[in-house]
Amino acid sequence: MTSTHTEAGAARVVAPSEIYVVPARCTGCRSCEMACAVEHSQSKSLYGAITETPAPRRRIYVEAVDTVAVPVACRHCDEAFCANACITGAIRRDARGFVILDESRCIGCNSCIMLCPFGVIQKDEARHVAVKCDLCPDLPGPACVSACPTDALRFEEAGDFARARRKATATAGAAGGTPAGPA
């Protein structure tokens, strides 16, 4: 693991795994969104989550651009503008190196929402706090990744993801085609 220095003065330990997206594999089924909302529900079940008030919030968003659907979630940026802007310290790096939000310290000022370059921090209007991806710390990996039926979401190290992309490109090139993403 390597460490970098951020404006807020916190050392970032580079996380060993992150969520990567293979857009060509995404069908826009939104299974990732549903799994995320269920994991962040009180009941942890689909039926229970549907009946909860307030309804649980997802932390991943499938956005459609023309005919391509792309899941978008927190990138846990090296230079986390949301953490630097958080006046209460509710957004910080955890021991794993991920950018996390302590909802008990959030005052709902929206600074993080304004500065997130990906637009993935949302406000829970019912509870007056921000919500963002926490990579499901109670699970072996993010619920969205486990729920993806087409393997469009990957939770792996950057080097492994890049190697798989290179292999897919080489394989497709040798066959005269275009890569759809890692196998």
Report domain extents, the chain.
3-174
CA distance 173 to 63: 29
Reply yes or no on whether the pLDDT at 1 is more than 90: no
117-137 confidence digits (pLDDT tens): 999 999 999 999 999 999 999
- State percent of the chain over pLDDT 70: 88
Rounded to 5 degrees, what are φ and ψ at 173?
Answer: -65, -40
CA distances from 12 to 4, 8, 134 (A): 5, 10, 16
Q: Are 69 and 62 in contact (CB under 8 A)?
A: yes
CATH, domain 3-174, list 3.10.28.10, 3.20.20.70, 3.30.70.20, 3.30.360.10 = 3.30.70.20
Reply yes or no on whether the pLDDT at 138 is more than 80: yes
Q: Are 134 and 121 in contact (CB under 8 A)?
A: no
What average pLDDT does this structure show over 90-110? 94
Reply yes or no on whether the pLDDT at 97 is more than 80: yes
Q: Are 165 and 178 in contact (CB under 8 A)?
A: no
Alpha helices in 10-88 (DSSP H): 31-39, 46-51, 81-85
Confidence band for 15, pLDDT divided at 50, 70 and 90? low
Confidence band for 10, pLDDT divided at 50, 70 and 90? low
Taking the alpha carbons at both ends of the chain, their separation in whole angstroms is 26
Nearby residues of 18 by Cβ (< 8 Å), 6 or more positions away: 75, 76, 155, 156, 157, 158
CA distance 174 to 1: 35
Reply yes or no on whether the pLDDT at 139 is more than 90: yes
pLDDT at 16: 77
Q: Are 167 and 26 in contact (CB under 8 A)?
A: no
pLDDT at 182: 62
What average pLDDT does this structure show over 101-112? 97
